Amino acid sequence: MLTLEKFEEASEVVRRVTLETKLVYSDYFSQQTGAKVFFKPENLQFTGAYKVRGAYYKMSTLTEEERAKGVITASAGNHAQGVAYAAKCYGAKATIVMPTTTPLIKVNRTKGYGAEVVLYGDVYDEACAKAYELAEEHGYTFVHPFDDLTVATGQGTIAMEIVKELPLVDYILVPIGGGGLATGVSTLAKLLNPKIKVIGVEPANANCMQESIKNGKVTTLPSVNTIADGTAVKTPGTKIFPYIQKNLDDIITVEDAELVGAFLDMVENHKLIVENSGLLTVAALKHLDLKGKKVVSILSGGNMDVITMSSVVQQGLILRDRIFTVSVLLPDKPGELSKVAAVVAKEHGNVIKLSHNQFVSINRSAAVELRITMESFGTEHKQEIISALEKEGYRPKVVQTNM
């Protein structure tokens, strides 16, 4: 049972290994939503995510014999680091099975805490099956990333901190993968104040909990496809499901493209690096009517590798028309390129790449293609640049940007 006494105990235990993640007020998102929006920045934890809470509390409840056997888990990264760190604290051996698609930063950091890493499967569910197999073979103690009430109790300590700092909170938004975090947070929030609304947020293409709630039973998705790797789960937890049914007020989904925009917003307005799963609750703010309410979005983690980060930033700029590409046809003669460049410069566009194709027509003298990739301040500025090119007779055509 998830009881207030257990949550209080867990809060005392996890304090040994967690950093104080004070709420961050967001003036930007408050203006966007008409609410008072705060972030719970669990991306700033020592292991880069909230998962250390549940992992460490679980480890504290194991017997000496169970720790001596060694522990094993499956994880897309954040739980892996939490278990590896907790095991190191208790001097226990840890084996972590991670999907082959796990970002390199999460793999390396897990190894850095002394754990043995086994890469297996394309998604969490396949890695989990392998972890159970290894646990049976070697006698390891399995620490489930979400379908474990003790782990969920540790995760729920986040709600204790939120309510202590913001007693009159109206809404708490929580990301959902398998459901452990949502179980702990929603259950404790309702124990502390039944009026608090707790909303779960899933990727649109990995909405296993939403489907399970709709069907009234734990449901397995045929596949998942999302950039939010930490929440790419096909089957939610069975032990925790009754708590989700009872305590979660609603579940909404967001598209991957919205996470890209949310990443850009967080970097530019708060200077915070938040991984895609942690951005679910940020993207969800625009889906809810929160006017006049006090809202906390839980930023569950910040473990994003730089290659993914670079890709997300580029895609975000393209989606918001701050980088775009136009194609224009020019006569193949000296001076034409400088004329086009002058038009763009006059409108304060910043050219970042040019592509000159002489073979777009068999009559080179009549036309060659120039593709211009440039920066703008947004959609309105982009249209001003295009209009200026049109006035000079260039007939610009917006084409796909390839960085």
- pLDDT tens, 74-103? 987 789 999 999 999 999 999 999 989 887
Structure token digits, residue 353: 């790449």
Q: Which CATH number is 72's domain given?
A: 3.40.50.1100
User: Beta 71-74 vs 141-142: how paired, if at all?
Assistant: parallel
Query: Do 308 and 333 belong together in one domain?
Result: no
Cβ of 199: how many Cβ atoms within 10 Å?
Answer: 23
Answer yes or no: do 281 and 294 share one domain. Answer: yes
Please tell me which residue in 11, 75, 186, 300 is annotated as part of the active site: 300
pLDDT tens, position by position, 376-396:
999 999 999 999 999 998 889
- End-of-domain residue from the set 125, 142, 159: 142
Are residues 292 and 210 part of one domain?
yes
Check whether residue 103 and residue 234 sit in a common domain: no
Boundary-marking domain end, from 316, 333, 352: 316
Q: Single out the catalytic residue among 6, 51, 130, 382.
A: 51
**8 Å CB contact between 12 and 160:** no
State the pLDDT at residue 361: 63
**Is 51 in the active site?**
yes
Sheet holding 24-25, edge to edge: 24-25, 36-41, 294-299, 171-175, 197-203, 250-254
- CATH assignment at residue 391: 3.30.70.260
Residue 68 reports pLDDT greater than 80? yes
Q: 276 and 163, same structural domain?
A: yes
- Reported as a single tens digit per residue, the pLDDT across 171-208 is 999 999 999 999 999 999 999 999 999 999 999 999 99
pLDDT of residue 282: 98
The answer to whether residues 8 and 157 belong to one domain is yes
Query: Is 293 in the same domain as 244?
Result: yes
pLDDT, position 365: 58
Indicate the helix (H) or strand (E) that contains 47.
Answer: none
Cα angle 206, 210, 216 (rounded to 5 degrees) comes to 135
Which range (22-26, 193-197, 308-312) has the least confidence? Answer: 308-312
If asked whether residues 263 and 331 sit together in one domain, one would say no
242-296: pLDDT as tens digits: 999 999 999 999 999 999 999 999 999 999 999 999 999 999 999 999 999 999 9
Same domain, 46 and 127: no
Contact 43, 59 (CB under 8 A): no
SS3 state of residue 210: helix
Question: Which residues form the domain of 122?
Answer: 52-142
Total count of domains within the chain? 3
Domain end position, chosen among 142, 164, 189: 142
- Are 29 and 78 members of one domain? no
What is the C-alpha to C-alpha distance for residues 366 and 397, in angstroms, rounded to an integer?
Answer: 18
pLDDT in tens, 312-366: 999 999 999 999 999 998 887 788 888 999 999 999 999 999 988 776 665 655 6
pLDDT of residue 360: 64
Q: Which residue has the tokens 């899933």?
A: 202
Mean pLDDT, the chain, whole residue set: 93
State phi, psi for 395 to the nearest 5 degrees: 50, 60
Mean pLDDT, to the nearest integer, of 217-233?
Answer: 93
Q: pLDDT tens-digit profile of 131-152?
A: 999 999 999 999 999 999 999 9
- Do the bridges between strand 350-357 and strand 368-375 make them parallel or antiparallel, or are there none, so unpaired? antiparallel
pLDDT of 140: 96
Do 77 and 29 lie in one domain? The reply is: no
Q: 164 with 254, same domain? A: yes
